[in-house]
Structure 1
Amino acid sequence: MQRLGRGILKFFIIFLLVIDLYPIIWLILSSFKTSAEFIKPMFTLPESLYLDNYTVAIEQANLGVLFKNTLIVTVVSIIFVWIFSSTAAFAVTKMKWKGSNLALLYLTMGMFIPAFVLLLPQFLLLQQTHLLNSLLGLIVVFSCTSLSMAFYLLTGFYKYLPDEILEAAVIDGCDIYRCFFKIVIPLSLNGFVTVIMLTFVGIWNDLLISQTFVSSNENKMLQVGLASFIDDRGNREWGPTFATICAAIVPTLALYLILNRKIIDGLSAGAVKG
């Protein structure tokens, strides 16, 4: 009976895995099909690796510029989010000072505010500071909107770092800065990886913010360019459309496959007392 239950569980897991992976595999295979092959049933494999779809996508969708803009905004925003969230979470959870609970409440409140509610005040603020329609403006907005979630995750992670280690380091002569850089950061790598990955996915896949605050072609981000390309050519050029979509999702999938173990450990670390 126990063996039967395990067999059913394995079958259910494999079934869910196939359901999750099939759309991705189908999308990748479809990006290598010629226009004539899309007339055939959707389950057929491509006759060859037709790379012209990617050539058309790079030239017509301007993928080079879109990737550059998205990469710059994403990387710089992640750096700011990591610096501010890691230091603020450390100050709130491991340092005793008046008002720490109020700071914790204030910094986590941003998680409960819908993104579209902030669009108008953010737009006016960027307009007044002359940051509208610029990569710097996007970096400011993404850094601020991603900070609350990163801060919340790291506070949950820091709470279960042993205080005895920090106390021993202080007794040995470490100041607060050396404690943070020499002890907290090495012990918190899984939490940092989780924050970086979630921030990366949120910024890389964003359409609402980047479409609202940027209108010039030279500063557009990947998802905005992808949406424009699909609107223009999606109904008649399926191959380049699928190639463009693949180019947009592959970095996220690759990063998750590389870091998935640390991400899982980081998400579960705050829920289990060590």
Structure 2
Amino acid sequence: MKHVEAKIGKRSMKKQIRNVMVTVVSVLVFLLFVYPLIYTVLNSLKTYDDFTSSPQYALPAKVFFGNFVKVFQSDFIRYFINSVVIAVLVVVFTVVLSATTAFAISKFRFRGKKIAEIYFLLGLMIPYQVILIPLYLTYAKFKLLDTYFSLILPQVAFGMPMAVQLFLAFFKDFEEELIEAAVIDGSSIGRAFISVVAPICRNIIITVATLRAIFSWNEYIFSYTFISSKKMMTVGLGLNAFVGEEGLVDWGPTFAAIVVTVIPTLLVYMFLGKYMQSGLSEGAVKS
């Protein structure tokens, strides 16, 4: 009996040690991800003298919002608006084109159907860096550099393969009787898609929209390659505006600009995160 109790006690001790280790690791990982954000917010609220005289991880001697005022008085607002416009258009075009393409591939019979599936599957394997130079030369030839189009087109094109795969996984098990019933009632295929299909795949739509919005907002390489004028800069490029001509950085406004840049992505994930997780789960289960 004592031997059994000792065995149970040993197992209980091992379980407690394992739980403590998991907790410690979880806290460390959490701090690893949260610390840069806390560090950025703290330093965005410091004056220049406070930033240079005190440890950078210390609390501000006095909360100073002048850095944010400087950000909003600069051209950074223009960069912010550009990023919003581009992100919205990228999301709209990617969702509409991907959803309708995946629906056509999964529900219609036509020649080249299998080739279309393989085409979008191969799109996942091609890094976007390989098309930068050809795309730049093409844009230059048709005078499309420094335009919204030069940023929207590649983001939509490289966002569609993943989006199409998510929609295909959902549509493969979609009940065709619902569409047939809508058509019998007098709806066209397009009308049936909008009124019947779209509401049912809401989570997938939100998932694709959220992923593309975050990617577009954080995108840098296309902007750096295709944009040269200040009026077309995005927030990623706009952060360089706080670096002086001699390489000196005005750290207070720079950190404030980073905080302003991060807030939209946090809000998007905060309000749409649960739908995105449901959408990814639906796609994974159905695939």
Unaligned 5+ segments in structure 1 are none
Taking the aligned partners of 1:213 and 1:81, their CA distance within structure 2 comes to 20
Within 5 Å, which residues of 2 pair with 1:137-152?
137-152=150-165
Q: Which residue of 1 aligns with 2:237?
A: 224
Deviations 1:126-148 (A, max 9, x none): 12222111123222232222222
**Does 2:105 match 1:92?**
yes
Q: 1:234 to 1:165 in 2, by over 3 A?
A: farther
More moved, 135-144 vs 215-224: 135-144
Match 1:246 to one of 259, 275, 282: 259
Taking the aligned partners of 1:263 and 1:234, their CA distance within structure 2 comes to 41
More moved, 224-233 vs 187-196: 224-233
Within 5 Å, which residues of 2 pair with 1:199-218?
199-218=212-231
**Does 2:67 match 1:57?**
no
Q: 1:46 to 1:273 in 2, by over 3 A?
A: same
Taking the aligned partners of 1:125 and 1:206, their CA distance within structure 2 comes to 21
Q: Which residue of 2 aligns with 1:68?
A: 81
Superposed displacement of residue 172, structure 1: 5.1
**Does 2:283 match 1:264?**
no
Taking the aligned partners of 2:184 and 2:151, their CA distance within structure 1 comes to 44
* C-alpha contact 1:233 1:241 (8 A) present in aligned 2: no
Residue 270 of structure 1 aligns to a residue whose secondary structure is helix
Residue type at the aligned position of 2:260: A
Taking the aligned partners of 2:91 and 2:244, their CA distance within structure 1 comes to 30
Superposed displacement of residue 272, structure 1: 1.0
Residue 68 of structure 1 aligns to a residue whose secondary structure is helix
* C-alpha contact 1:160 1:270 (8 A) present in aligned 2: no
Match 2:174 to one of 149, 158, 161: 161
Taking the aligned partners of 1:256 and 1:193, their CA distance within structure 2 comes to 11
Q: 1:188 to 1:230 in 2, by over 3 A?
A: farther
TM-score, scaled to structure 2 = 0.85
Instruction: Say which one has the larger Rg.
Output: 2
Taking the aligned partners of 1:48 and 1:212, their CA distance within structure 2 comes to 40
Quote the RMSD (CA, aligned, Å). Answer: 2.4
Taking the aligned partners of 1:234 and 1:51, their CA distance within structure 2 comes to 24
**Does 2:95 match 1:111?**
no
Residue type at the aligned position of 2:60: P
More moved, 82-91 vs 158-167: 158-167
Q: 1:87 to 1:236 in 2, by over 3 A?
A: closer
Q: Which residue of 2 aligns with 1:45?
A: 59
Residue 92 of structure 1 aligns to a residue whose secondary structure is helix
Q: Which residue of 2 aligns with 1:21?
A: 34
Residue type at the aligned position of 2:67: N
Q: 1:273 to 1:104 in 2, by over 3 A?
A: closer
Taking the aligned partners of 2:227 and 2:131, their CA distance within structure 1 comes to 16
Q: Which residue of 1 aligns with 2:5?
A: none
Number of positions where the alignment pairs a residue of Structure 1 with one of Structure 2: 273
Q: 1:52 to 1:94 in 2, by over 3 A?
A: same
Residue 271 of structure 1 aligns to a residue whose secondary structure is helix
Deviations 1:175-213 (A, max 9, x none): 422331122100111111111111111111111101111
Q: 1:13 to 1:218 in 2, by over 3 A?
A: same
Unaligned 5+ segments in structure 2 are 1-11
**Does 2:85 match 1:101?**
no
Aligned sequence identity (%): 32
Residue 273 of structure 2 aligns to a residue whose secondary structure is helix
Q: 1:152 to 1:100 in 2, by over 3 A?
A: same
TM-score, scaled to structure 1 = 0.89
Deviations 1:32-82 (A, max 9, x none): 01122222223321233311111222334x111101111111111221111
Q: Which residue of 2 aligns with 1:126?
A: 139
Superposed displacement of residue 6, structure 1: 5.1
